[in-house]
A and B are shown apart, each in its own frame.
Chain A
Amino acid sequence: MDDNLELPTATPKPEASQDREEEEQSSGDEDQGPDWTKIPGLNVARPVIPKRGEKDFEPTAQGGSGLQRHVLDRSRSAMLEALKATRTISHKSVSHAIWYPQLKRAHVTVARGIHFSTMGHSVARASAESEGAKKVQKRLELLPEEALYLVERGAMYCWEPTDLPLHHTVHLDDMEGVPMSVQQAYAEMIGADELTLERYEVYAYLRRLGYVVTRTKPPSPEYPVPPPFPSVTRASASIVNRLLNTVTSFLSQFVRIFTGGRDWWRPICFSRWLHYNMSNKSLFKSLRFLPSGYDVPLHVQRAPEAPSTPYQIFYNLYKPSTPFKKTAPPLPDFSVVIVNARTTPMPTIAELTDLFGELPELPPPAPRKRMSFAQQKQASASAPQSKQTAPQGPAIQPWSFRRSLAWIWPLPQTNENAKSPARPTNPFPSLKTGKKMVVVAAVDAGTISFFRFGQGVFTEWPMA
Chain B
Amino acid sequence: MSLITPTRHKGSQKGGARRAENNKIYAHPLPLVFSAPEPHSKFGHVLGLFGPNTRLENPHCEGIFDPATRSVWVTNEKDSMILWRRGFFGKGNLSRSEPSWLARQINARKAAGKYMTSEEIREKRRAERKQFKMDRAAAIAKAAAEAEAAFAEGREAGPAFIPSGATWKPQPSSELSLPSEPLEDQSMDVAEELEPLEDVEHLQLTLQEAFFLIWNLDCLTVLDPHTHEPMSLRETWQTFQDVHCIPPGLPVYAHRFDNPFLVNYAAYHYYRSLGWVVKGGIKFCVDLLLYKRGPVFHHAEFAIVVIPVYEDPADKESSPFNLPNADTFSWSWLSTINRVNAQVQKTLILTYVTIPAQSRVSADLLSSPACLAHYSVRDVVLRRFIPARMRD
Contacts A24-B386, A458-B379; A12 near B391 (Cβ below 8 A): yes
B residues near A270, Cβ cutoff 8 Å? 56
Out of B275, B311, B375, name the residue touching A300 (CB < 8 Å): B311
Distance of A456 from chain B, by nearest CB (Å): 3
Any A CB within 8 A of the CB of B373: yes
Complex: how many Å from CA A292 to CA B331?
26
- Whether the pair B380, A453 counts as a contact (CB closer than 8 A) is yes
Nearest Cβ distance between residue A437 and chain B, in whole angstroms?
9
Least CB distance from B29 to A in Å reads 6
Chain B residues, Cβ within 8 Å of A459: 274
Binds A, one of B13-21, B73-81, B221-229, B264-272: B264-272
Given contacts A280-B30, A290-B375, A290-B377, contact A452 B328 (CB under 8 A): no
Please tell me which one of the listed residues B328, B389, B391 contacts residue A211 in the complex, with CB atoms under 8 A apart: B391
Residue pair A463, B292 in contact (C-beta under 8 Å): yes
Partner of B392, one of A67, A321, A346, A432: A321
Tell me the A418-464 residues at the B interface (CB within 8 Å): 428, 431-434, 439, 442, 444, 449-456, 458-459, 462-464
Give the nearest-CB partner of B328 in chain A.
A345
User: Is A299 a contact of B356 with CB atoms below 8 Å?
Assistant: yes
Contact with A along B134-176 (1 / 0, CB 8 A): 0001001000110110111000000000000000000000000
B382 proximal to A (CB < 8 A): yes
Residue with the highest number of chain B CB atoms closer than 10 Å, among A23, A267, A353, A456: A456
A182 within 8 A of B: no
Within the complex, what minimum Cβ distance (angstroms) separates A351 from chain B? 10
Residue in A266, A298, A300, A341 whose Cβ sees the most chain B Cβ within 10 Å: A300
User: Contact string, B197-235, partner A, CB cutoff 8 A, digits 1/0?
Assistant: 000000000000000000111100000000000000110
B389 near A428 with CB under 8 A, answer no
Say yes or no for B243: interface residue by CB 8 A criterion: no
B25 within 8 A of A: no
Interface window among B107-115, B117-125, B341-349: B341-349
Minimum distance in angstroms from A453 CB to a CB of chain B: 6
Contact A301 B383 (CB under 8 A): no
- A298–B32 alpha-carbon span in the complex (Å): 35
Q: What A residues does B30 contact at CB under 8 A?
A: 280, 283
> Given A12, A266, A292, A319, which contacts B218 in the complex, CB threshold below 8 Å?
A266
A349 touching B311, Cβ below 8 Å:
no
Contacting residue for A272 out of B54, B357, B375, CB 8 A: B54
**Do A66 and B148 touch (CB < 8 A)?**
yes
A399 CB–B CB distance under 8 Å: no
Q: Mark A61-89, 1 if CB is under 8 A from B, else 0.
A: 00001111010000000000000000000
Q: Is the CB of B385 within 8 A of A349?
A: no
Q: How many A residues have CB within 8 A of the partner chain?
A: 83
Q: Is residue B381 within 8 Å, beta carbon to beta carbon, of the partner chain?
A: yes
Contacts of A205 in B (CB 8 A): 387
Given contacts A66-B148, A278-B34, A319-B392, whether A293 and B54 have CB atoms under 8 Å apart is no
Q: Do B354 and A280 touch across chains, with their CB atoms under 8 A apart?
A: no
Does chain A have a CB within 8 A of B183? Answer: no
Residue B131 is within 8 A (CB to CB) of chain A in the complex = no
Residues of the B chain whose Cβ atoms lie less than 8 Å from the Cβ of A303:
313
A284 to B269, CA, bound (A): 11
Interchain CB contact (< 8 A) of A268 among B51, B217, B270, B343 = B217
Residues of chain A with a CB closer than 8 A to B301's CB: 428, 431-432
Residue pair A209, B392 in contact (C-beta under 8 Å): no
Interface 0/1 of A265-298, CB less than 8 Å to B: 1111010110100111001100111111110101
The interface residues of chain B lying within 8 Å CB-to-CB of A442 are 331
Output the least CB separation between A84 and chain B (Å).
Answer: 27
Chain B CB within 8 A of A382 CB: no
Residue contact A349 to B352, C-beta cutoff 8 Å: yes
Docked pose: A451 CA to B215 CA in angstroms:
39
Q: Cα distance A431–B275 when bound, in Å?
A: 14
Bound-state CA distance A21–B147 (Å) is 38
Q: Indicate with 1 or 0, residue by residue over B43-56, a CB within 8 angstroms of chain A CB atoms.
A: 00000001110111
Whether a CB of chain A sits under 8 angstroms from the CB of B330 is: yes
Q: Are B148 and A65 in contact (CB under 8 A)?
A: yes
User: Among the listed B52, B292, B378, which residue makes an inter-chain contact with A293, where contact means beta carbons less than 8 Å apart?
Assistant: B378
Which residue on chain A has the smallest CB distance to residue B28? Answer: A280
A258 within 8 A of partner (CB): no
The segment from B4-12, B63-71, B250-258, B364-372 that touches chain A is B364-372
Contact at B148–A319, with CB atoms within 8 Å? no
Q: Are B384 and A66 in contact (CB under 8 A)?
A: no
Q: Are B32 and A319 in contact (CB under 8 A)?
A: no
Q: Given A30-B386, A299-B357, is A67 in contact with B148 using a C-beta cutoff of 8 Å?
A: yes
The answer, yes or no, to whether B360 is at the interface (CB within 8 Å) is yes
Chief secondary structure at chain B's binding surface: mixed
Q: How far is the CA of A206 from the CA of B370 in the complex (A)?
A: 50
Q: Is B116 an interface residue (CB 8 A)?
A: no
For residue A198, give the distance in angstroms from its CB to the closest CB of chain B.
Answer: 13
By the criterion CB–CB under 8 Å, are B388 and A265 in contact?
no
Contacting pair A287 B382 (CB below 8 A): no
B144, B349, B375, B388: the one contacting A456 at CB < 8 Å is: B349
* Docked complex Cα distance between A60 and B352 (Å): 50
Task: Encode A295-315 as 1/0 by CB contact (under 8 A) with B.
Answer: 010111101000000000000
Whole-angstrom CA separation of A348 from B310 in the bound complex:
11
CB < 8 Å: which of A265, A284, A352 contacts B274? A284
Q: Report if A288-B381 is in contact (Cβ < 8 Å); known contacts: A264-B370, A265-B233, A346-B329.
A: no
Q: B274 near A464 (CB under 8 angstroms)?
A: yes
**Interface flag for B390 (CB, 8 Å):** yes
In the complex, whether A22 has a CB less than 8 A from a CB of chain B is yes
Taking CB atoms, residues of chain B closer than 8 Å to A67 are 147-148, 150-152
Checking A268, A299, A320, A345 against B354 with a beta-carbon cut-off of 8 angstroms, the contacting residue is A299
Q: Is the CB of B385 within 8 A of A451?
A: yes
Contact across chains for B387 and A450 when beta carbons are under 8 A apart: yes
Which of B273, B356, B389 interacts with A290 by CB under 8 Å?
Answer: B273
- Does any Cβ of B come within 8 Å of A57's Cβ? yes
The chain A residue sitting closest to B157, CB to CB, is A67
B312 at the interface (CB under 8 A from A): yes
Q: Is the CB of B381 within 8 A of A432?
A: yes
Q: How far is the CB of B149 from chain A (nearest CB, A)?
A: 9
Shortest B100–chain A CB gap in Å is 26
Q: Hey, which chain A residues are within 8 Å of B273, CB to CB?
A: 284, 287-290
Complex interface residues of chain B between 83 and 137 (CB less than 8 A to chain A) = 137
Is there a chain A Cβ closer than 8 Å to B296's Cβ? Answer: no
Cross-chain contact A439 with B385 (CB below 8 angstroms) = yes
B29, A280: Cβ atoms under 8 Å? Answer: yes
Residue ranges of A at the interface with B (Cβ–Cβ < 8 Å) = 10, 12, 22-26, 29-30, 56-57, 60, 65-68, 70, 205-206, 209-211, 264-268, 270, 272-273, 275, 278-280, 283-284, 287-294, 296, 298-301, 303, 319-321, 334, 341, 345-349, 352-353, 428, 431-434, 439, 442, 444, 449-456, 458-459, 462-464
Add 11 more A-B contacts to A25-B345, A301-B312 (CB < 8 A). A25-B383, A67-B148, A268-B216, A270-B56, A287-B216, A288-B273, A299-B357, A341-B331, A349-B380, A452-B382, A456-B378
Instruction: Report, nearest first, the 4 A-B pairs whose CB atoms are least far apart.
Output: A464-B275, A275-B51, A463-B275, A456-B379
The 28 sampled A-B contact pairs (Cβ below 8 Å) are A12-B392, A25-B384, A29-B388, A65-B151, A67-B150, A275-B54, A278-B34, A280-B28, A287-B269, A289-B373, A290-B269, A290-B270, A290-B372, A291-B376, A298-B354, A300-B310, A301-B311, A341-B332, A431-B302, A431-B347, A434-B380, A439-B385, A451-B385, A454-B380, A454-B382, A456-B380, A463-B275, A464-B274
